[in-house]
A = this chain, B = another copy of it.
Amino acid sequence: MLIGLFKEYESQLEEIFTYHLGLRHDDNAGKRVRSLLLLLCTEGAGGDWKKAIPAAVAIELIHNFSLIHDDIEDRGEMRRGRMTVWKKWGLAIGLNAGDAMFAAAFNELRNLEKFYEPEIVLESVNLLSKTCLELTNGQHLDIEFEKRELVSEEEYFRMIKGKTAALLACSCRMGGLLAGKNWRQQAHYSNFGQYLGLAFQVYDDWLGIWGEPLITGKSNFSDLIEHKKSLPVILGFQYFPGFYKKWNEGIGNEQDAARFAEEMIRLGIEKKVLDKVKELNKQSINNLYKMDCSSDIRGILEKLANNLIVRDS
């Protein structure tokens, strides 16, 4: 699939791809949950997961292109235990490598043509391009929120719907699509992935404040110290007058952050966040049970969904 993609160009891009994707022996390649969901949904919906591999590759490439660019946008220097692409090769090479990966994703979809009718392949292309619009729009909102003083809960959910949930929704819907499911069924697959993505992101926000640093790999109370407008903080803005001022001015070091995290538990914010995770997870599972899906794969998907929101990192 990927190996050899740039062979005819005699280009270093292949080396960068291999590095970022973690394809070398012993490299951390990430959870690859999006491609896993796609293949499971294909098989569960009565299709053949092996035929759907090009779509799974494309989804994973889109996710990884977005990580390469995210790391430039927020100046992230480490990813999966390795230096980020832009940090290792410079901003210009890194930015362009992300673009190349974006192109490679769409290019990969042509390999579906071996097994599927052109109509189906074209629908996959359209689904992926629409999803990338949602993704970039979510990313835009995320960047913009950093510059703003206040963000509402509604705006937050609009942002993560694009930034996090859209690609998970796309992965699941693509499985239904490739297995020949109709639009109504595809919507259930899509909604399962979307709510899963929302639950995942909200839980990630919980981990960013109350997660165990030894396990998450993030520093203690990292999101508070970095003044990240994650959901817990946004709920604070929304429900407690004076919260913004305290959050904005009162956190200088880890001790302040620890005190603030405690205070947020007392205010009931931490519970609100976990309740939200449970609610979103429930909606995800509701959709899972509306999907025409073999019972063994449904069982795996349910387990996967539950594990994603009580995961450690």
A39 contacts the other chain (CB 8 A): no
Q: A95-B69, A118-B119 are in contact. Are A103 and B144 (CB under 8 A)?
A: no
Chain A's interface size range is 35 or more
Majority-rule SS of A interface residues: helix
A126 with B110: CB separation less than 8 A: yes
| Chain copies in complex | 2
Q: How distant is the Cα of A98 from the Cα of B66 in the complex, in angstroms?
A: 12
Which residues of chain B come closer than 8 Å to A118, judged between CB atoms? 117-119, 121-122
Interface residues of A in 94-137 (CB under 8 A from B): 95-100, 102-104, 106-107, 109-110, 113, 117-119, 121-122, 125-126, 128-130, 132-137
A13 contacts the other chain (CB 8 A): yes
Q: Which residues of A contact B (CB under 8 A)?
A: 5-6, 9, 11-13, 66, 69, 72-74, 91-93, 95-100, 102-104, 106-107, 109-110, 113, 117-119, 121-122, 125-126, 128-130, 132-137, 139-141, 143-144, 162
* A-B contact list, 9 entries, CB within 8 Å: A72-B91, A72-B95, A96-B140, A100-B133, A103-B136, A107-B129, A110-B129, A118-B118, A118-B122
